[in-house]
Amino acid sequence: MTVDEQLKQQLDEFRKDFHRLRSEISKVIVGQQDILDDTLISLIAGGHVLLEGVPGLGKTLTVRTLADALHLEFHRIQFTPDLMPADLIGTQVIAEAGDGRKVFEFQKGPLFANVLLADEINRATPKTQSALLESMQEHSVTVAGVTHILSEPFFVMATQNPLEMEGTYPLPEAQLDRFFVKLLVKYPTVSDLETILDRTTENLKPKAEAVLSGERILQMSQLSRMIPIANDVRRYGIAMVVATHPDHELASAAAKKYVRYGASPRGLQALILGAKIRAILDNRYHVSRDDLKEMALPVLRHRMILNFEGQAEGISADDVIQKMMADVKDDALAAA
């Protein structure tokens, strides 16, 4: 078997495992296929997911079901205004050594898991929210000068209610940037509501079974990085990101008018990694511009800070991104 044939077989298995995992989750979650796809893409890419939507749309159930479908340790943290950083990370406690001496011992918090549900994350204060920063980026936790490495894979899936709802605190920009994607959970359709009633008000209650291991997720992550991307396509992705920067020479007209800060290099990395996985799922072995465009909204919407004019006119980040994509030319960086 040649190297190309071996890679093709591995990518075929990648697609089968992806669809098997999605099908298992779909036994419980009705509709929301785009949400599921982007969530699984983020998991495989090694990123984190922020789900936003009003209460009752199944955000928490989606995370729980994902955890059920994986052979991984799952913890849930309910974020509240009185939650403290030590409640997440853990703390030093006094323990008795074998010789009777009193020593400090680190007691791990619920953050030490493979899949972490940060439920209603924007109901906690910024001090507590920031406790996740190191773990989300470095996959480690430092307490009393000692660094504790988290087990892999480490996946944070946070839910939040819209900021206009009472009792919420906006996430810091630094933390938002650590989420691979931000997904907007919409209200289900009429047919989806009928299916939800069938599954929740009848005798039979579906449950997802564990179908993939953490080791397999890590293998899929490494495999996705092997997908090549042509230089002109990569430069198109760069052009998409710099077009969100209002002070850049290649900024789109919408960004110049409505944006205060544009997307960071993390946004570009997420754009490329997500596009590589989408290419695999589309049975291709190279990244196209369409793959980048499909990832633009979930990857960039939370990395753009609107200025006063954008907020006053009720412009959303999605509006700016869509206008930006219409302005970016295929050869935007040719002369840069």
Q: Where are the domains of the chain?
A: 3-80+112-221, 229-327
**3-state SS assignment for residue 150:** coil
Residue 94: the pLDDT is: 76
Those residues whose C-beta lies under 8 Å from the C-beta of residue 159, and which sit 6 or more positions away, are: 50, 51, 52, 53, 59, 60, 63, 117, 118, 119, 120, 121
Residue 331: the pLDDT is: 65
Instruction: Report the alpha-carbon angle 179-182-185, nearest 5.
Output: 145
pLDDT in tens, 108-120: 888 888 889 888 8
Output the six-digit token pair for 189.
């359709």
Question: What is the average pLDDT across 186-191?
Answer: 77
| Segment holding 76, helix H or strand E | strand 74-78
Output the six-digit token pair for 257.
């008018």
* Superfamily classification of domain 229-327: Magnesium chelatase subunit I, C-Terminal domain (1.10.8.80)
Residue with tokens 């680190």: 106
Those residues whose C-beta lies under 8 Å from the C-beta of residue 3, and which sit 6 or more positions away, are: none
Q: Does CATH number 3.40.50.10140 belong to domain 3-80+112-221?
A: no
Task: Evaluate whether 94 touches 103 at the Cβ level (below 8 Å).
Answer: yes
Tell me how far CA of residue 281 lies from CA of 6, 116, 136, 215, in angstroms: 17, 26, 26, 20
DSSP for residue 165 = S
DSSP for residue 186 = P
Q: How far is it, in rounded angstroms, from Cα 50 to Cα 158?
A: 5
**3-state SS assignment for residue 286:** coil
Question: What is the average pLDDT across 175-189?
Answer: 86
Those residues whose C-beta lies under 8 Å from the C-beta of residue 45, and which sit 6 or more positions away, are: 180, 221, 224, 270, 273, 274, 277
pLDDT exceeds 60 at position 148: yes
Question: What is the average pLDDT across 262-291?
Answer: 93
Least confident of 29-33, 189-193, 248-252, 329-333: 329-333
Q: How far is it, in rounded angstroms, from Cα 43 to Cα 149?
A: 19
Question: What is the average pLDDT across 55-75?
Answer: 80
Instruction: Report the alpha-carbon angle 300-79-65, nearest 5.
Output: 70
Q: How far is it, in rounded angstroms, from Cα 224 to Cα 43?
A: 12
**Phi, psi values for residue 85, rounded to 5°:** -55, -40
Residue 314: the pLDDT is: 84
Per CATH, 3-80+112-221 and 229-327 having the same topology is answered: no
248 or 292: whose pLDDT is higher? 292
pLDDT exceeds 50 at position 335: no
